[in-house]
């Protein structure tokens, strides 16, 4: 049997846990005006993307510092940040709803495992 076949579900390795400093209290944003024309589907942002946006753009950390706080690489932060920025821009330009959801691999910062 080739490597990876029959070992769990799906392809690749499991996603690493992300440490989240703040779980957003407000998780649903929508335009103040009803949409013109047919309604468009909402945009979904993950806690990981929200946290990367918060750490880099709001708190002013570097991507490397944000990666250390979240327990992931700088490249992972870069991808999450790029995706989050695109989603926020899309929400503003197109007047679409934005919903922030958990993926299941986030751990609140206070609940870290001791090493």
Beta strand 98-101 with 28-29: parallel, antiparallel or unpaired? antiparallel
The dihedral formed by the CA atoms of 94, 20, 60 and 52, expressed in degrees to the nearest 10? -40
Q: What is the mean pLDDT of residues 15-30?
A: 84
- Residue 61 and residue 53: Cα distance in Å, rounded? 10
Residue 63 has pLDDT above 50, yes or no: yes
Top-confidence residue, 37 or 81 = 81
Residue 22 has pLDDT above 50, yes or no: yes
Cα angle for residues 44, 28, 38 (degrees, 5° grid): 70
Domains in the chain, please, with CATH?
47-102 (1.10.10)
Closest CA to 42 of 53, 55, 28, 56: 28
At residue 56, the 3 state secondary structure works out as helix
Confidence band for 53, pLDDT divided at 50, 70 and 90: very high
Residues 6+ apart with CB under 8 A from 48: 18, 20, 70, 80, 103, 105, 106
pTM across the whole model:
0.77
Enter the tokens of residue 63.
């991507």
- pLDDT, residue 4, reads 47
Q: What is the mean pLDDT of the chain?
A: 84
Top-confidence residue, 79 or 17 = 79
Closest CA to 54 of 35, 71, 77: 77
Each residue of 72-107: pLDDT tens digit? Answer: 999 999 999 999 999 999 999 998 999 999 887 677
Confidence band for 37, pLDDT divided at 50, 70 and 90: confident
Q: Are 64 and 81 in contact (CB under 8 A)?
A: no
- pLDDT, residue 21, reads 83
């Amino acid at each position: 049997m080739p490597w990876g076949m029959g070992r769990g579900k799906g392809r690749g390795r499991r996603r690493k846990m992300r440490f989240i400093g703040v779980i957003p209290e407000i998780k649903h944003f929508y335009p103040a005006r009803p949409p013109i024309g047919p309604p468009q589907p909402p945009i979904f942002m993950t806690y990981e993307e929200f946290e990367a946006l918060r750490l880099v753009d709001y708190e002013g950390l570097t991507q490397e510092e944000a990666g250390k706080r979240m327990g992931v690489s700088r490249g992972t932060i870069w991808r999450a940040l790029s995706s989050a920025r695109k989603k926020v821009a899309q929400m503003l330009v197109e007047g679409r709803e934005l919903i922030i959801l958990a993926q299941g691999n986030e751990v609140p910062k206070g609940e870290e495992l001791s090493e």
